[in-house]
Every structure is written in structure tokens, then in C-alpha cells.
Amino acid sequence: MKTLLKEMILDAASAAHKEGILPSPDFSEVVLEEPKADSHGDLSTNMAMQMAKTQRMAPRKIADALIDHLDDKKGIIMRTEIAGPGFINFFIRPAAWHPVLAVIHEKDHQYGRCDLGKGARIQIEFVSSNPTGPLHVGHGRGGAVGDSTANILSFCGFDVQKEYYINDSGRQIQTLGRSVYLRGKELLGETVDFPDTCYQGEYIRDLAGELLEKDGPEIFSEAEAQAIMPCARFAADKIIDGMRADLVDFGVTFDRWFSEQGLYDSGKVAEDIRHFEEKGLIYEKDGALWFRTSDYGDEKDRVVVRRNGQTTYFASDITYHKDKFERGFNKVIDVWGADHHGYIPRMKAAVQASGYDRDRFGVLLVQLVNLLRAGRPVAMSTRAGEFVTLADVVKEVGRDAARFIFLTRHYDSALDFDLDLAKRKTNDNPVYYVQYVHARIASIHRKAATDGLDVGDFVQSDLSALETPEDVVLIKALARYPEAVKTAGTFMEPHRITYYLMTLAAAFHTYYNRHRVLCEDNLKLTRARLYLITAVQTVIRNGLALLGVSAPDSM
């Protein structure tokens, strides 16, 4: 509808220009929007005001000219008006919206798809939690945002790859090994001094127990230096398996799990450091090696090899991101927790120094999650190893509720996640509000079948019966879906889909309460309404799929 009207307006502008009424052929882009107030019509444009400068005419005069030259071949416009400083308001004939329904039925699962990405290869890396403990709620949000964004981008014509970066190298992994080693000694009856710096969680003891059972006690009697790495490998592998399983339960899968250690094993990190040294981008100072990130917008240079000879996390990250681009991705997106935001300038610098456009690398900074129960904060201490894990949350509230709630806010603002509210099967829980639409419609279909109502061939149904205000509101909402997807893809903001679905759901529930779909005495009306609500069901299902939330047939 919008594109159709846009073309009509542009044609009108050209026609008016040809007749010399509009002096300039330079037409600003037509922006059509849906006015908030119904009295302003179905669609409205501010074009006359935008053009006032280039045309050097009063906006209302331009608006007059445009309206005079409108050629409404299909008869979609009921009437137009010029309002306020120069808005042109279009009132669309109710029946003109009906073709939207046919499009939805025809495209079905593909309705809403667009070609924004034009096949560009994009990689999105998310969660990427260190394999030193279970995933917690914050990772859940990152997972939901990353996975849903990937779905949306894919639906918008990007070739998307989802990746998990495993930080299986460095000091944390050693700490993990040491923690397991010491707990293992405890299990064998030794009294050990378990330092604060080690991981305190109960799961460490469990891992030590598993290792003991698998390989016997020998490893725990070896010297610490000998035992740490085997312990660490065992524990990290177990933890990664656990994370993978938790993510599957959460509906999140990855195309690739990428090992940081692999970058060291293959010598790529060392190779890159050498390479950047030769180019003069890495230099030595105070016994350490520094990367000249400040040449590329960072506030100071950063260490890549410490005085003790160990590389920093940043070193492998440079190689990792360079590797991503070498793999041919046009665009590389990382999803990070907001506490890492200080890291962005140096990462951008590294990308640029590696020879790639810094704008091809982007970061979605996901703000923190406040976990609540009945409105009160749930005490969590990562240090003490006491926290509610993602698996706990999924088990308690379910995958659908968890995913949906993580996506009810822009990722950029902090999120309150109330466990009690997420379980509540009422109105204040938006998940069910949306899913209920799908279930209700499925129920109507069942009823229609039971009652032997011949729903016939939908496409042949006469839609002229769909002309009440509620019909139009609902169809207009459906027509808006492709745009919602496109906007969500453009800005990588999955919450826009969530909000869209809530709005559509509201329109449907209103409709449902006002109009009976199955009217035994009016088959024509019944068919038309079934045609309409089936389209609603399709869009709800498609939208929920982008969020990774199921669309149940009954609740």
C-alpha cells in the first residue's frame, strides 16, 4: 500500500513538473507514515513541506498541485485533505487493504521477508562465555538477542553465520584447572587452602568428582604445575558441553564454535604479532609489546604481550577478528555485555589496523539483567559462585517466556526479569498474550471443522464483508509487518518485532471480542473472516519464529 501510494505521489510530482506547476524536478524522497490520530487519515506525507525550499513555493500550494495530479488508477483513495502546515492526508477505501491478505496467504512463511542484505555475508558472534562456569541470566539475554538478530538478518536477505568464541586459553582457564585440582585433593581427604581467587562454585567440586571417577586419583597427587592443564581441559570440555546443552534447551544453536586456543596452536597469534611488528604497529616499551591503537582513535596504546612474555586477551582478539574478515564476511557483529564497552575503541582500531574498514565491525552492547522474584532482587554473587543459571531460569519459566522477556526491551537498556511474573499466566505476561492469539485462531479452525462449516477455498472468498473499522485496523496491522522486520534488521533491534507482535495481538483480541468469526447463517462472512484471521495467525507465527518462540495451537 505504501509503495503503491509513494509511486502515485512521485508520478503526480513529475506530472505537475511537466506542466510547469512545480519548477524543480528535484523531488525529496516521499515519506509516508501512519498518523497517530485517525482523523488524519490512514496515511500521510509531509512531502509538500519538505519540498517547500527546493520548489520555493508555499507547502500548501505544492500539496494542491500534487493532489490535482494524482492518478488513482486502482481507486484506492477515498479522499484526500491538506492539513496543518502542509500535510497531505490520504483516506484509503477499506476494500483497498484487502489485497494484503492475499499476499500473506500466498507468501505464507515467507511473508515479511526482504532483500535488505542482498546476500551479504554477515557473522554474528554472541554469548562467548568463558568456559569456567555455567551460563547465567546475562548470557541468556545475549543469547536471545544474538540468535533473534541472526534470524531477523537472515530473513532480511543476509547470509548469516552464528559463532561462539571459546576463551579456552589464558589465565582464567588455568585458574579453572587449579580450582578443580584443589577440590580433587579435598575429595581425597587432603586439607587444602582454597584461595579466594579460585572459583568457589559447587560445580567445581562436581567436576573434580567426575574427573576422579573417570581417571582415578593419580592426577590429584601429581605436582600442581603438572596437573593443572589436564584438569583444566577436562573441566572446560565438560563445561562447554553443559553450555551447549543449556543453549539447545534455550533454543540457541551455533554454526561454529571457535577455539581461542586454536589460534595459538596454529601459530596465528604469533604470526600476526610478527606481522604487525614489521609494519611498525607493534613496538616494545617497558619490556612489553604495545599495539598502536591510539593511531586509530583509541585513547592510548594497548599491551599485547606482557613483560612476563604472556600474551593478553587483546592479542588473540586481534587475530580472531582479522581471521573473521579473512573468512570473507562483509560484516562482523559481536554481542557483548555492556561492561565491555570500553573495549570497543581498541577493537575497532585493531580491525582498521588490520586493513579493514572499521565500520564493517559492529558491537551490540547488551545491558545487564536484574533478576527479580516477586519484585525483589535475587541475590547473586559470581565470586561466591552463587547465582541463578540460565538453565535454572529456562527450567523454571520455560523457554518461550524466557526468550520473549529478554526481547521485550531494547538491548541497550537494563532489563528487569521477574521470575514470578514470567511464570504468571495472566495479562501482565506478554508472552502468553501473543501466543494466545495463535492458539485462539487454531481453536476457531478446530471449531469450524467440528461444526462442518465449509470453509471452502480461501482465495476465492469474497472479502467485501471485511469493512468494519476493526477489520481495517487488523489488516493495516498485518500490512505493517514487512516494515517492522526491515526496521528490526536495519538497526539490529529484535525488540521491534516483540512490540509489533504485541500490537498485532491487541488488535486481534479486540477483533475477537467484537466480531464472531463463525457465523452459521452467513457463510460468506465466515469465509472472509476465516481468511482474515488465518493471515493473522501466519504473521504471529512468523514473528514469533524470528524471536525463537513457539506458536502453540492450544494453551
By CB under 7 A, the residues from 337 to 396 that bind RNA are 338-343, 365, 367-368
Q: Helix crossing, 202-215 with 224-249: angle to 10°?
A: 110
- SS3 label, residue 45: strand
Q: Does 56 bind RNA (CB under 7 A)?
A: no
Judged by CB under 7 A, which of 270, 439, 523, 545 binds RNA? Answer: 439
Judged by CB under 7 A, which of 7, 26, 33, 68 binds RNA? Answer: 33
Q: How many whole angstroms separate alpha carbon 348 and alpha carbon 453?
A: 62
Q: For the segment 279-298, give every residue that binds RNA (CB under 7 A).
A: 285-288
Q: Rank residues 187 and 313 by Cβ distance to RNA and give the closer one.
A: 313
3-state secondary structure 283-311: EEECCEEEECHHHHCCCCCEEEECCCCCE
Q: CA torsion, points 286, 287, 293, 294, in degrees to nearest 10? A: 10
Shortest spacing between CB 305 and RNA, in angstroms: 8
Shortest spacing between CB 50 and RNA, in angstroms: 6
Q: Does 194 bind RNA (CB under 7 A)?
A: no
Shortest spacing between CB 86 and RNA, in angstroms: 7
Shortest spacing between CB 439 and RNA, in angstroms: 4
Q: Does 10 bind RNA (CB under 7 A)?
A: no
Structural contact between residues 429 and 422, judged by C-beta atoms closer than 8 angstroms: yes
Q: For the segment 213-272, give every residue that binds RNA (CB under 7 A).
A: none
Q: How many whole angstroms separate alpha carbon 322 and alpha carbon 320?
A: 5
Helix (H) or strand (E) holding 65: helix 59-68
Q: How many whole angstroms separate alpha carbon 539 and alpha carbon 519?
A: 24
Count of residues that interact with RNA, criterion CB under 7 A: 89
Shortest spacing between CB 217 and RNA, in angstroms: 31
Per-residue binding letters, 515-544, with RNA (x by CB under 7 A): xxxx--------------------------
DSSP string, 82-130: EETTTEEEEEE-GGGGTHHHHHHHHHGGGTT---SSTT-EEEEE-----
Shortest spacing between CB 325 and RNA, in angstroms: 21
Shortest spacing between CB 176 and RNA, in angstroms: 11
Q: How many whole angstroms separate alpha carbon 192 and alpha carbon 198?
A: 12
Q: For the segment 146-185, give every residue that binds RNA (CB under 7 A).
A: 167, 170-172
Q: Rank residues 221 and 413 by Cβ distance to RNA and give the closer one.
A: 413
Please list, in sequence order, all residues whose beta carbon lies within 8 angstroms of the beta carbon of residue 198, skipping any fewer than 6 positions away: 175, 178, 179, 182, 204
Q: How many whole angstroms separate alpha carbon 370 and alpha carbon 378?
A: 8
Q: Does 312 bind RNA (CB under 7 A)?
A: yes
Q: Rank residues 171 and 256 by Cβ distance to RNA and give the closer one.
A: 171
Shortest spacing between CB 46 and RNA, in angstroms: 4
Q: Does 40 bind RNA (CB under 7 A)?
A: yes
Q: Does 487 bind RNA (CB under 7 A)?
A: yes
The alpha carbon dihedral of 210, 214, 219, 225 has a sign of: negative
Judged by CB under 7 A, which of 1, 8, 13, 49 binds RNA? Answer: 49
